[in-house]
Amino acid sequence: MANEAVLQVEGIHTFYGTIEVLKGISLEVRHQEIVTLIGSNGAGKTTTLRSINGLNHPRHGSIRFAGKNITHEPPHDIVRMGISQSPEGRKLFPRMSVLENLEMGAFQRRDRSELKNDLDRVYSLFPRLSERKRQRAGTLSGGEQQMVAIGRALMAHPMLLLLDEPSMGLAPIFVERVFETIVEINQQGTTILLVEQNAMMALEVASRGYVLETGTVALADDAKALLRNEQVRKTYLGETD
């Protein structure tokens, strides 16, 4: 099971109107891996996630999840199948409480009896959310809101968790905490596909990585090998000669 591909993306071409954003992206995520997508702004990282979660269907190519072709499935069915996402910018319901936001993550689930266990799991990962469960999400700090966004995605009880820029705009202490939690979620058995501007942190927690450049995969390798790669270090880790 460990080497089985949970997600297989093969040669997808995704457009916004007439603009081709993804130009034949192929990648795979295996059972219980953390795989990261890195690349500069506009490389196609978020569009790759939107293609997987059904928000922007590719015109060509295929996406398979747990052996099933999901290329043209609607987003709500994809969530039901076991893919959930913590989106870039968090996208919380600011007037709703922390608890209500978390419950929204589970609105499609039929196994209502299991919800308390998943809520307990989220609170054990993020004890601060338990303390603030009655507080309006819009009044939380950026780091706390990120915790809610990840917790809400976990409430769907996903097999595959998509994380889009979880460290964006956070204070360094929160960045470290978020990455520690990503590792913990993975160790509990959830497979993760991580899109992240902080390439160094992403490659340190991932097992494999893909480097995207203008809608194509420029490099794909073991995360540790990418950390040692001279081109990656100069372009994405800010190193100079």
Alpha helices in 11-74 (DSSP H): 45-52
Residues 6 or more apart whose Cβ sits within 8 Å of residue 223: 36, 203, 204, 206, 207, 208, 209
Amino acid at 64: R
* β-sheet with 68-69: strand ranges across: 19-30, 5-16, 60-65, 68-69
Tell me how far the alpha carbon of residue 193 is from its chain's centroid: 5
- Residue-wise pLDDT for 208-227, tens only, equals 999 999 999 999 999 999 99
38 DSSP β-pair partners: 211
What is the pLDDT at residue 115?
82
Question: What is the pLDDT averaged over residues 193-200?
Answer: 93
**How many of the other CB atoms lie within 10 Å of CB of 115?**
16
- Residue-wise pLDDT for 87-123, tens only, equals 887 789 889 999 999 999 888 777 777 788 899 999 9
Alpha helices in 94-237 (DSSP H): 98-104, 115-125, 127-131, 142-154, 172-187, 199-205, 223-228, 230-235
Question: What is the pLDDT averaged over residues 4-31?
Answer: 96
Residue 240 has pLDDT above 80, yes or no: no
Contact 38, 217 (CB under 8 A): no
Instruction: Tell me 127's DSSP state.
Output: H
The rounded mean pLDDT for the chain is 92
Confidence band (pLDDT; 50, 70, 90) for 238? Answer: low
Report how far residue 21's alpha carbon sits from residue 31's, in angstroms, rounded to the nearest whole number.
Answer: 28
Q: Which of 227, 169, 230 is nearest to 203 (CA)?
A: 227
What radius of gyration, in Å, describes the C-alpha atoms of the chain? Answer: 17
**How many of the other CB atoms lie within 10 Å of CB of 234?**
12
What is the pLDDT at residue 213?
94
| Prediction pTM value | 0.93
- Residue-wise pLDDT for 147-187, tens only, equals 999 999 999 999 999 999 999 888 888 899 999 999 999 99
- Residue-wise pLDDT for 22-69, tens only, equals 999 999 999 999 999 999 888 999 999 999 999 999 999 999 999 999
Domains and CATH numbers, the chain: 1-82+159-170+188-241 (3.40.50.300), 91-157 (no CATH)
